[in-house]
Amino acid sequence: MDLTMRIDQLAAPQLSEFWSLREDTEARFDGEEGSPILLRTHIGELPIERPSPALGEALRRMQLGPVLLGNVVPGFPGYDVPREQWNDASRELLDALAGLHHLVVRTLAVGAIPLLSVVPLGRRAQFRPRPLPSAPGVRLARDAMVRRHGGDLVLRSPRSECRVDLHWPDAAQLLLHLEGDGDETAVRLGLLPQVLRAVRAYLSAAGMLEDTEYAAHSAC
C-alpha cells in the first residue's frame, strides 16, 4: 500500500498497536518450547530462563518485525484497557514483557499506515501509555527536539530515554494541532478521534508532551 495515502482515504481505518524488538536485538532459541531464550542486545546479553509458551512465541514473532500480540494471545488488550479487565493470558504476557521495555518498540498504525513508533534508547526506558483526560492545554513539550531523519520526523527529549519516529506524512501538522478539542482536531487532520487520543497517549508516555492542567510525565 502507498504510504503517502491519507488515513481518511482508507476504506475502513482501524487503530492497531504493534510490538517488535529493536532491530539490533537478536533472540536465540534452542528449539524446545519453554527452554531458555538468550537475547543479545545493544547493552549486552539477557537470558530468560523460564519463558512461558506465549512469551516465547511473542519474541519469535517480534524479532521478525512489528506484530499484533492479539495473534499470540486472544483478547490481548489495547493501551486503554485497565489491568483489571485483562484476561489471565494477557496479564502473564504483559508482566513478562514489562522487564523488556528497553528492547521493545511500540508502533501505532491505522490500517496499513504506520503513524509513529516509540523506540527505547536506554536501559531504564519504560513505556506505559495510558488514556489521558480530555484537556485543551496539551502541547508538545518545550524541551522536545524535532528533526528529520530520512522520510520521518524524529522527536527527542533530554528527559526521556525514548525517541519517537513519526512516520505519517502529515506528522508536522499533527504536532501543530495537539492542542484543542480532541474531536475537532481529529476532524481537521482527517483522523478518527480515538486515533488522535492514542497518539496523545503514546507521545505523553514517551515524555514528549506537557500540560498546564495535569501531569502527563513519562517513565520512559
Residues 139 and 67 in one domain: no
How far is the CA of 200 from the CAs of 12, 20, 58, 61, 93, in angstroms? 22, 21, 26, 27, 25
CATH code, domain with 195: 3.90.930
Looking at the domain assignment, is residue 122 inside a domain? yes
How far is the CA of 1 from the CAs of 20, 67, 113, 114, in angstroms? 21, 17, 8, 11
Sign of the C-alpha dihedral computed for residues 4, 197, 134 and 219 taken in this order: negative
Looking at the domain assignment, is residue 220 inside a domain? no
Looking at the domain assignment, is residue 160 inside a domain? yes
> Which amino acid belongs to residue 44?
G
Per-residue pLDDT of the chain (220 residues; tens, 9 = 90+): 343 334 344 344 689 999 999 999 999 998 777 789 999 998 899 999 999 999 999 999 999 999 999 999 999 999 999 999 999 999 999 999 999 999 999 999 987 789 999 999 988 999 999 998 765 567 889 899 999 988 889 999 999 999 999 998 888 888 887 765 567 777 777 888 888 889 999 999 999 998 755 444 445 6
Residues 84 and 159 in one domain: no
Looking at the DSSP bridge assignments, the partners of residue 190 are none
Please say whether the beta carbons of 64 and 91 come within 8 A: no
Looking at the domain assignment, is residue 219 inside a domain? no
pTM, two decimals, is 0.87
Residues 45 and 98 in one domain: yes
pLDDT of residue 211: 72
Q: Identify the domain containing residue 47 by its residue range.
A: 19-104
36 exposed, middle or buried (CB, 10 Å; 0-12, 13-18, 19+)?
middle
pLDDT of residue 12: 45
Looking at the domain assignment, is residue 166 inside a domain? yes
